[in-house]
Amino acid sequence: MRTPDGLVNVTALVPSVGSSLRELLERNPGGLAELAARAVDAPARFRVEPSALHYRPLVPDPSKVLCLGLNYVAHASEAAFEPPRYPVVFTRVATSLLAHEAPLEVPRCSEQLDYEAELAVVVGRPGRDIPRERALEWVAGYTLFNDGSVRDYQKRTPQWTLGKNFDGTGALGPELVTPDELPEGALGLRIQMRVGGELRQDASTSDMIFDVPTVLAGLSEVMTLLPGDVIAMGTPSGVGAARNPPSFLRAGDVCEVSVERIGVLRNPVIGARRT
């Protein structure tokens, strides 16, 4: 946990919180503020040097990752779709997740690995039939997501599951930013994607068709949302597949997702490993 005086290992400080963000939220619902207060006063032996960090996906073991498609009007247009009247939702599996600074791997079977900068919501407590006007009470915080998509596999069928679930293509993290640090619903924040330093996507989270409360309420009509569930809120225009000519990720590229006041999610791109 980040404090004004540096990083604190809260798992060592309070072992009962568990070893992952999901476990922390399950065991200590609503207690992030209390835990942060304890971290501020932590003895020196619990402090961690940034150089010693080894990242994992922010939630390495979510019960579900739910992703929105076509949630920005301009992106729907560049993908040749009408703006949706109801959220377009698909799922990701845990093996598709990737940590901050970990390499995105171009698969052996395709040269069409694409990037998508996204705001992601982490659910803080169980909820079913959540009223829209109270939905933000269920948000533990916000983070960043790169919805790496293998476009030719995505387009083989009307269902996007395979193209969105290649191992290690969904970068998530690096940190959870709590709602009190951001505008309500994380609206009005600049969201960008850079590839090799070149700005590829540049928009505002206010451009989302469906905002966070609407999405949480709608999803919870169907399923119970659980602590640590991740909801990726869709990407703005500027994806590689829509460029002329298309520009997919290649070994040596570096992807950087940024949302102001949340941070930067960075991943190098490598070629397929030999087995």
Would residue 60 count as lying in a domain? no
Would residue 59 count as lying in a domain? no
Counting the structural domains of the chain, the total is 2
Q: Let me know whether 31 and 103 are in one domain.
A: no
The mean pLDDT of 139-162, rounded to a whole number, is 97
Q: Let me know whether 228 and 173 are in one domain.
A: yes
Tell whether the model's pLDDT for residue 274 goes beyond 80: no
Q: What is the CATH number of the domain that holds 197?
A: 3.90.850.10
The mean pLDDT of 3-27, rounded to a whole number, is 92
Q: Let me know whether 71 and 40 are in one domain.
A: no
190 band by pLDDT with thresholds 50, 70 and 90:
very high
Tell whether the model's pLDDT for residue 193 goes beyond 80: yes
Q: Let me know whether 133 and 182 are in one domain.
A: yes
Q: Let me know whether 134 and 22 are in one domain.
A: no
Q: Which long-range contacts (CB under 8 A, 24 or more apart) does 127-132 make?
A: 127/216, 127/220, 127/224, 127/225, 128/220, 128/223, 128/224, 128/225, 129/220, 129/221, 130/216, 130/217, 130/220, 130/225, 131/217, 132/213, 132/214, 132/216, 132/217
Query: Residue 78 sits in which domain range?
Result: 65-270
